[in-house]
Amino acid sequence: MLLLTCPNCGVAADETELAPGGEAHLTRRGPGSDDASFESYLFHRRNPRGVHFERWRHAHGCGKWFHAARDTVTLEVYGTYPAQCAAPPREILDRIAAKHPGFDWEGGA
Amino acid sequence: MKRYSAFAIAREAARYHAGWQRAWASPAPKPHYDVIVVGAGGHGLATAYYLGKRFGITNVAVIEKGWLGGGNTGRNTTIIRSNYLQDPSAAIYEKSRALYETLSQDLNYNIMFSPRGVLMLAQTEHEIRGWKRTAQANALQGIPTEYIGPAEVRRIVPIINIDGPRYPVLGALWQPRGGTARHDAVAWGYARACSAMGMDILQKCEVTAIRQQGSRVTGVETTKGAIGCGKLAIVVAGHSGVLARMAGFRLPIESVALQALVSEPIKPVIDVVVMANTVHGYISQSDKGELVIGGGADGFNNYTQRGSFHHIEETVRALCETFPIITRLKMLRQWGGIVDMTGDRSPILSKTPLEGCFINCGWGTGGFKAIPGSGWAMAELVARGEPGPLAAPFGLDRFREGRFIDESVAAGVAH
């Protein structure tokens, strides 16, 4: 059972209270983008076996979106942070690097 | 390979069963193969088998990081059907179902195909309309299915409760030639046939990198050393993203855990497969008497082969209402498999940006039924370098072109 702390309302929410929203930090492409980057934005995903930065919505709580850093193999949660962040906070990246030496965020897609 | 037959049983009975051979060999890797297939699940082994059988390509290795058939091939609910809505899906799934009919004879290995019939329940007005539409589409595609009313459902499945308060059974889509097969036997039968053709099945051999020269694949690095190849076929289901990353491209795929569970064995109560898509439960009875129950998929990326507990509760709750007779049944085991979901819930059989490298993935929640057809079409793609008519609509380029094969309804599992 997955527990995530919503950074908006502070509640430690069970996964049944949350709606998953897929990979975070994707650059939104719109009119004027070339086909390749639009395709990539819509469909291509990192889908990593390991650390995943992702979006969640506190659907049955405050209703707001937030981001989480989670391991897709162990389900360990490295932290949650507000959806307004364009990059994961340093402290979360440090926590991940402590578990996975040499880990670094690859940047948004 | 010695053939299995009634005569072979008599012969071995007369000599204390000392003469049975191992079903497949476990050789050391050769330095180079014409084709390497990554993934010794059903799809990978079927690809190798049809490469040999249809195209005479037998200098083939099938590489598996775990054990043969130990991924989703050994974890699914063994349902075989072809009642899909879109023409390209109907074509490849029906090819697959048709190959299953004679697969035991073809492989000389009893895969226990049981065309017992598949019922897909309509429990909402939308499902009634959806299944009627599918039945009409199937009639045009030449696939025998039929929309039936609740009384007929009751006749086929006497234990069903058709007037449940929350999930009444309003009708069903009935495919009489759908059914089940023994999942492990499918992998074992293909493996035995591949080994007999001289192919190498390399188990406990994990691919760690993909070797490239320019834009062309030249081999793989594995935990058993580097192995060269002319062509590479990636057929690894849930871990496709990991292999694609090694090959240097990204896929329109996300991996999630899909669950199933089985009950304690009981006397025969249900002799068809029943799928209830509204409530995300499906049920059939194995030859051992266990009820095999398929549940929901997690909504988040996940490689745990376990799945979230609340899906079990949802599935079992719904099935208890639909089949009141099973309310006091104990569940024996629960497990999860990592399924590879595409945006349109249809598979990918495609060339890739890396020359000589082909990928077969995205079967999502319904890969088992597709094993023979998928292998048939994939072998053609790998051997000729171009997709045949079955595989052509399932290329990676369909996402860029917006040419989706939308089966998000037919797949029938919580997404």
Which one of A20, A40, A45 has the shortest CB-CB distance to B253? A45
- Asked if B261 contacts B314 with a C-beta cutoff of 8 angstroms, the reply is no
Q: Is the CATH number 3.50.50.60 carried by domain B29-82+84-108+183-252+344-401?
A: yes
**Cα angle for residues B17, B106, B108 (degrees, 5° grid):** 0
Residues β-bridged to residue B255:
B340
Section B131-151 average pLDDT: 97
Ranges of each domain in chain B: 29-82+84-108+183-252+344-401, 118-178+255-342
Which one of B242, B308, B343 has the shortest CB-CB distance to A43? B343
Residue B250: its pLDDT value, please? Answer: 92
- Asked if B194 contacts B48 with a C-beta cutoff of 8 angstroms, the reply is yes
Summarised one tens digit per residue, pLDDT across range B301-326 is 999 988 888 889 888 988 888 899 99
Q: Do B308 and A2 touch (CB under 8 A)?
A: yes
What is the pTM assigned to this prediction? 0.95
What span, in angstroms and rounded, lies between the C-alpha atoms of B47 and B396?
A: 19
What span, in angstroms and rounded, lies between the C-alpha atoms of B146 and A75?
A: 43
Section B347-354 average pLDDT: 97
Residue B412: its pLDDT value, please? Answer: 47
Question: Hey, which residues 224-243 in chain B have their CB within 8 Å of chain A?
Answer: 239, 241-242
What span, in angstroms and rounded, lies between the C-alpha atoms of B367 and B285?
A: 20
Summarised one tens digit per residue, pLDDT across range A85-95 is 999 999 999 99
B259 touches chain A (CB under 8 A): no
- Kindly give the confidence (pLDDT) of every residue in chain A, 109 residues in length, as a single tens digit, with 9 standing for 90 and above: 799 999 999 999 999 999 999 999 999 998 999 999 999 999 999 999 999 999 999 999 999 999 999 999 999 999 999 999 999 999 999 999 999 998 888 877 6
B35 touches chain A (CB under 8 A): no
- Looking up residue A50, the CATH number of its domain turns out to be 3.30.2270.10
Section B367-376 average pLDDT: 97
Q: What is the ipTM of this complex?
A: 0.93
Specify if A88 maps to a domain.
yes
Cα Rg of chain B, angstroms: 21
Show the tokens assigned to B290: 């266990």
Which one of B242, B252, B304 has the shortest CB-CB distance to A43? B252
Specify if A13 maps to a domain.
yes
Q: Which residue of A has its CA nearest to B244?
A: A46
Residue recorded with tokens 């249900």: B270
Name the pairing type of β-strands B207-213 and B216-222.
antiparallel
What span, in angstroms and rounded, lies between the C-alpha atoms of B143 and A71?
A: 43
Residue B410: its pLDDT value, please? Answer: 52
Residue B323: its pLDDT value, please? Answer: 92
Q: Do B301 and A52 touch (CB under 8 A)?
A: yes
B23: distance to nearest CA of chain A, Å? 33
Please tell me the CATH code under which domain B118-178+255-342 is placed. 3.30.9.10
A39 touches chain B (CB under 8 A): yes
- Asked if B36 contacts B232 with a C-beta cutoff of 8 angstroms, the reply is yes
- Asked if B39 contacts B235 with a C-beta cutoff of 8 angstroms, the reply is yes
Lowest mean pLDDT, pick from A78-92, B292-306, B377-391, B399-413 = B399-413
Q: Do A49 and B299 touch (CB under 8 A)?
A: no
How many separate domains does chain A show?
1
Q: Which residue of A has its CA nearest to B400?
A: A39
Residue B411: its pLDDT value, please? Answer: 47
How many CB atoms are closer than 10 A to CB B209? 12
What span, in angstroms and rounded, lies between the C-alpha atoms of B128 and B112?
A: 32
Specify if A55 maps to a domain.
yes
Question: Hey, which residues 45-74 in chain A have their CB within 8 Å of chain B?
Answer: 45-49, 52, 54, 70, 72-74
Section B217-221 average pLDDT: 97
B62: distance to nearest CA of chain A, Å? 22
B86: distance to nearest CA of chain A, Å? 21
Specify if A109 maps to a domain.
no
User: SS in 3 state form for B238-293?
Assistant: HHHHHHHHHHCCCECEEEEEEEEEEECCCCCCCCCEEEECCCCEEEEECCCCCEEE
Residue B407: its pLDDT value, please? Answer: 87
Specify if A41 maps to a domain.
no
What span, in angstroms and rounded, lies between the C-alpha atoms of B30 and B63?
A: 12
Which one has a higher pLDDT value, B144 or B295?
A: B144
Summarised one tens digit per residue, pLDDT across range B275-292 is 988 877 789 999 999 999
Q: Do A2 and B300 touch (CB under 8 A)?
A: yes
Question: Hey, which residues 8-37 in chain A have their CB within 8 Å of chain B?
Answer: 15-16, 19-20, 22-23, 35-36
Residue A104: its pLDDT value, please? Answer: 83
**For residue A55, what are the domain limits?**
3-26+46-99
B303 touches chain A (CB under 8 A): yes
Section B267-281 average pLDDT: 90
Specify if A76 maps to a domain.
yes
Lowest mean pLDDT, pick from A97-106, B190-199, B401-410 = B401-410
Residues β-bridged to residue B291:
B285
What span, in angstroms and rounded, lies between the C-alpha atoms of B234 and B248?
A: 13
Residue B314: its pLDDT value, please? Answer: 87
A57: distance to nearest CA of chain B, Å? 12
Range list of β-strands (E), B214-268: 216-222, 225-234, 253-263
Helix B371-384 with B42-55: angle, nearest 10 deg: 50
- Asked if B367 contacts B76 with a C-beta cutoff of 8 angstroms, the reply is yes
Residues β-bridged to residue B232:
B36, B357
- Asked if B146 contacts B96 with a C-beta cutoff of 8 angstroms, the reply is no
Summarised one tens digit per residue, pLDDT across range B327-345 is 999 999 999 999 999 999 9
Of the pLDDT bands very low, low, confident and very high (cuts 50, 70, 90), residue B409 is low
How many CB atoms are closer than 10 A to CB B254? 25
Residue B415: its pLDDT value, please? Answer: 37
- Asked if A95 contacts A79 with a C-beta cutoff of 8 angstroms, the reply is yes
Lowest mean pLDDT, pick from A55-69, B90-104, B354-368, B400-414 = B400-414
What span, in angstroms and rounded, lies between the C-alpha atoms of B365 and B345?
A: 9
Summarised one tens digit per residue, pLDDT across range B132-141 is 999 999 999 9
Section B224-231 average pLDDT: 97
Show the tokens assigned to A105: 């965020």
Show the tokens assigned to B336: 């999860």
**Cα angle for residues B43, B46, B48 (degrees, 5° grid):** 110
What span, in angstroms and rounded, lies between the C-alpha atoms of A95 and A69?
A: 10
pLDDT exceeds cutoff 50 at B414: no
Instruction: Give how far Cα B27 sits from Cα of A8, B30, B405, Å.
Output: 57, 9, 41
